[in-house]
């Protein structure tokens, strides 16, 4: 399996979890929804906010290698997306990963 295919598969898996976990919109009579995660900035895309909500278990605004692997993800994918190699994926790195995945899908004709 090529690195590109592996990276595309990993990205697709990263995004599929939050998308598949979505529920129907709440009706006005349902209980109030919790506020958006504090770590998501105003410019954060919905996909990045969902990834942070799913993987950032300590709510520090970034995803550590431990959080990534605890979610069943491979360390190799984390290392690829942690572009500054500081041991964390932050909003900008997650956004770049999503954009890279979209470009790979476009090249593959999906």
Cα dist. 21→15, 40, 65 in Å?
Answer: 10, 19, 22
Residue 29, SS3 per DSSP: coil
Q: What percent of the chain has pLDDT over 90?
A: 44
* pLDDT for position 58: 95
**Count of Cβ atoms closer than 10 Å to residue 53 Cβ:** 17
Token pair listed for 52: 């942070």
* Domain 3-20+43-107 class in CATH: mainly alpha
* pLDDT for position 89: 95
Q: Give 25 or 38, the one with higher predicted confidence.
A: 25
CA atoms of 3 and 38, how far apart (whole Å): 34
Q: What's the pLDDT tens digit per position in 60-107? A: 999 999 999 999 999 998 999 999 999 999 999 999 988 888 898 899
pLDDT at 14 over 70: no
Q: Give 19 or 50, the one with higher predicted confidence.
A: 50
CA atoms of 85 and 43, how far apart (whole Å): 23
Contact 36, 57 (CB under 8 A): no
Q: Please state the domain extents for the chain.
A: 3-20+43-107
Token pair listed for 68: 């990534």
pTM over 0.75: no
* pLDDT for position 30: 53
Average pLDDT along the chain = 75
């Amino acid at each position: 399996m090529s690195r590109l295919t592996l990276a595309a598969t990993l990205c697709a898996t990263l995004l599929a979890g939050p998308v598949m976990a979505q529920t129907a919109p709440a009706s006005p009579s349902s209980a109030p929804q919790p506020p958006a995660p504090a770590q998501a900035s105003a410019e954060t895309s919905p996909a990045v906010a969902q990834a942070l909500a799913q993987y950032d278990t300590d709510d520090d605004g970034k995803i550590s290698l431990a959080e990534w692997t605890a979610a069943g993800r491979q360390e190799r994918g984390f290392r690829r997306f942690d572009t500054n190699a500081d041991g964390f994926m932050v909003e900008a790195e997650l956004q770049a990963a999503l954009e890279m995945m979209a470009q790979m899908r476009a090249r593959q004709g999906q």
